[in-house]
C-alpha cells in the first residue's frame, strides 16, 4: 500500500491537495484509497490550463475498467498546470497517486488559505477510512 504523505489535506470525496506555501500553488490528485476502489485507471479528463475553478465543483473525470468518477475542486483558483503525463500513462494514478499521478495545479488566492486549513488532515482522513 502507498504511504499517505502527512502534508496533504483531503476532501470527503477522496481528493487530496498539497499547498506550496512559498508559491501558493496547490497540487491536486485522488487518494490511494480512491484509486484502489476504481481499479485500473484507463483515462483521465483534466481541466484546461487557465480554467477558473470553484471549490466543490466537478473539474475532472477519472475512468477505470470498473467505473467513471468525478473529481471535485478542493479549492477555488486558476489552473496553472495539468499533468500531461496522464494522457500517455493514466495508470500513473494507480502506481503513484501522491507523486507522479497528480492531476492539476491551482494558483491559490491568499484569502482561500483558510479553506485549505478546514480540510481533513492526513491523520483525520486515514481515521475516517478506518471508521467506514
Task: Give me the pLDDT at residue 1, please.
Answer: 46
Ordered structural domains, the chain, with CATH: 9-109 (2.40.50.100)
Query: Looking at the DSSP assignment, which residues form a beta bridge with residue 104?
Result: 28, 82
Contacts of 74 (CB under 8 A, 6+ apart): 9, 10, 11, 15, 16, 17, 26, 28, 55, 116, 119
Which percentage of the chain shows pLDDT scores above 70?
Answer: 96
Task: Give me the pLDDT at residue 112, please.
Answer: 64
User: What average pLDDT does range 1-13 have in this prediction?
Assistant: 88
Task: Give me the pLDDT at residue 88, please.
Answer: 94
CA distance 123 to 113: 19
What pTM was estimated for this model as a whole?
Answer: 0.93
The overall average pLDDT reported for the chain is: 93
Is the pLDDT reported for residue 106 higher than 90?
yes
Closest-CA residue to 68 (of 40, 49, 47, 88): 40
User: What average pLDDT does range 9-15 have in this prediction?
Assistant: 96
User: What average pLDDT does range 50-56 have in this prediction?
Assistant: 93
CA distance 118 to 104: 20
Amino acid at each position: 500500500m502507498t504511504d499517505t504523505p502527512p502534508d496533504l489535506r483531503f476532501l470527503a470525496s477522496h481528493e487530496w491537495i498539497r499547498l506550496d506555501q512559498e508559491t501558493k500553488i496547490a497540487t491536486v490528485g485522488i487518494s490511494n484509497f480512491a484509486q484502489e476502489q476504481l481499479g485500473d485507471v484507463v483515462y483521465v479528463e483534466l481541466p484546461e490550463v487557465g480554467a477558473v475553478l470553484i471549490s466543490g465543483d466537478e473539474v475532472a473525470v477519472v475512468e477505470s475498467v470498473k467505473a467513471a468518477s468525478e473529481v471535485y475542486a478542493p479549492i477555488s483558483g486558476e489552473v496553472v498546470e495539468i499533468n500531461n503525463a496522464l494522457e500517455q500513462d493514466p495508470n500513473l494514478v494507480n502506481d503513484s497517486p501522491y507523486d507522479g499521478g497528480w492531476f492539476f495545479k491551482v494558483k491559490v488566492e491568499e484569502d482561500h488559505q483558510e479553506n485549505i486549513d478546514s480540510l481533513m488532515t492526513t491523520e483525520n482522513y486515514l481515521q475516517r477510512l478506518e471508521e467506514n
